[in-house]
Amino acid sequence: MSSHFHKLPPLLSQIKNHQDLLDIPDAKLGQLAEEIRETLIQSLSVTGGHLGPNLGVVELSIALHRVFETPTDKILFDVSHQAYIHKLLTGRAEAFHSIRQHEGLSGFMKRSESEHDAFGAGHAGTALSAALGICKARDLKQEDFNVIAVAGDAAFTCGTTLEALNNISQSTKKLITILNDNEWAIDKNVGALAKYFNSLQTSETFSWLRNKTSNFIEKLAGTPVKEFAQNLEGTTKSLLFPSILFHKFGLRYFGPIDGHDIPNLIRTLNYLKTLNEPVILHIITEKGRGYQPALDDPSKFHGLGAYQINDGTTKTSTKPTYSEVFGRTLLSIAKEDPTVVAITAAMPSGTKLEYIKDALPKQYVDVGIAEEHAALFACGMATEGIKPYVAIYSTFMQRCIDMIQHDAALQKLPVKFCMDRAGLSADDGPTHHGLFDIAMLRSIPNLMMMQPKDEAEFVNMIHTMNAWNDGPSAIRYPRGIGLGVALPESPEILPVGKAEVEQEGTDITLVSLGSMISLARETSRALEAEGKSVTIINARFIRPLDSETICRYAKQSQLVCTFEDHSIVGGFGSAVLEALNDAHIQTPSLLIGWPDQFIEHGSESILREKYGLTAPHVIGQINSIIKPNLI
């Protein structure tokens, strides 16, 4: 856990519970907001984290906790990376310096961390469905508490959000949904709803309407609730599309109002909690508010590592990241092949498809936060001879499994699924680790799946994927920089299903997948220093697996050891065991990977040491199986 600690400012340091927040005079709530922003900027400059989203919801979070009392009332965030202020206001301010550090606070809401965290989620589109489920349970048990779902406008590009909207009016009579409209997810929002919300914000009518709403709220302070409601609702009725849209879903629509005006927010929320019907409050916020570098570059400051407070600069590496290698390589292919189309689910900068977006906009599609749609959309394109590349983080590609199996593989459509951040995602924790994609995908017929050992092999694999037309293909690659090897000037097409034997030995066979080759090589050097003869196989392909090569060396070895940056349950090592079993080879085996559990957040070095993914741990396990007298 990080040892840095910034002394909490005076008002924030007083808040240990709900009553402490209520004891702060109304006139000082603006000061509290500034103290919270100062704490966010100072602390996250050391730990990194989701700065921009949280700077945008400071006033909203204060108002929510002023009006509602958790844990009795339930507040859900979509996505819960915007719950940092919620943590500060629910007794966790003194531990805030530990956020995203091993054994410290999570960067997301986490039920096991605090009773105030009603629902933990790191993926978009979860809040409305979960909130509606809580409402239904409350109603069934005849209890009485408030449920508030805070959803960014980007969440409304999610299929699950729209499915929940379709179900609200028939499931509960009391739910408050807050549409936090700031035009951004990780990147600029796309799609019809986002376009419409944006057009509202930039229109003269909208500016007049927002001011009119705020004036109504100010003037109506102390008026009867019924009159207040009629006037507030009347500011939008028959004038704005959202009012009509949400009315069709059975929700009364209020707003839009300024999401940074604490008194108006409190006044509005106090009224809305008196209603016995589902409502939606549309607020306008500014992502990155109060910190100029975050305002200048919302995409970068959505989530980042440590930075310099004065100008927002971060450490850079001369080595390209795997994402950058992917983006540049695909751009070079797309320039030569107009049938190549790059598809992202609202993450052009994270996946580096922004290179294609800028250079070849006609060969680029952003579908919004809608991974399932992205996969099925790609399948449709593939039926017409297009080569669609769907680039999505491994943790979000999980949502596409149905489409990969039912639509791509069953019909042998050559869709290219590119899984960024496969393996450990370190400080983000269990919602973002890409440790389950192999287990989910490797049982699907007609699918080709691979992982490169370094950047050079990655380039070759992308070209191999481009040439593969016998069905869908998938490639998984890790977060961050590679080994720093030179990229090939003339990429080659790899023989599908064929592993690479890096070195030959007679005693122990090490079968490595992807970037785990570094650990395999380190393990080999240590074993050789003990007098053991070692084979190293770079598997390259998960499916089809090169069973022939692996079994050939396994027969002559005393032990087969597999390495993967993935859960060992159902993963690459399991595939090797199946191959050995099918060939009736009884050589002892050792599987090195992540254990059968959700791995917490923390630095990669700490987690690898804790779970035994280091050379000393591996060598100790090998020597416990292979006794010296057997070699």
Active centre residues (catalytic)? 287, 371, 399
DSSP H helical segments within 540-603, as ranges?
547-555, 572-582
Helix (H, G, I), strand (E, B) or coil at 49: strand
Peptide bond into 544 cis (omega under 30): yes
Angle at 66 between CA 64 and CA 68, to 5 degrees: 60
202 burial via Cβ count (<10 Å: 0-12, 13-18, 19+): exposed
Residue with tokens 């956020």: 99
CB 569 within 8 A of CB 588: no
CA distance 554 to 570: 20
Helix (H, G, I), strand (E, B) or coil at 252: strand
CA 342: distance to chain centroid? Answer: 19
Q: What is the DSSP letter of 314?
A: B
60 burial via Cβ count (<10 Å: 0-12, 13-18, 19+): buried
CA distance 57 to 89: 13
CA distance 336 to 571: 36
Helix (H, G, I), strand (E, B) or coil at 399: helix
500's torsion region: left (phi>0), alpha (psi -120 to 50) or beta?
beta
Residue with tokens 């957040």: 601
Q: Residue 215 half-sphere exposure, CB side, CA atoms within 13 Å? A: 8
CA distance 309 to 311: 6
The beta strand positions in 467-586, using DSSP E, are 473-476, 500-503, 508-512, 534-538, 541-543, 559-567
Q: What is the DSSP letter of 307?
A: B
361 burial via Cβ count (<10 Å: 0-12, 13-18, 19+): exposed
Q: What is the DSSP letter of 18?
A: H
147-152 and 176-181 as β-strands: parallel, antiparallel, unpaired?
parallel
Nearest to 262 by CA among 106, 6, 463, 85: 85
CA distance 138 to 173: 11
CA distance 258 to 491: 54
Residue with tokens 């179900």: 167
49's torsion region: left (phi>0), alpha (psi -120 to 50) or beta?
left
Helix (H, G, I), strand (E, B) or coil at 257: strand
* Whole-number Cα distances in Å, 272 to 76, 178, 212, 253, 298: 16, 11, 19, 11, 31
CA distance 237 to 312: 42
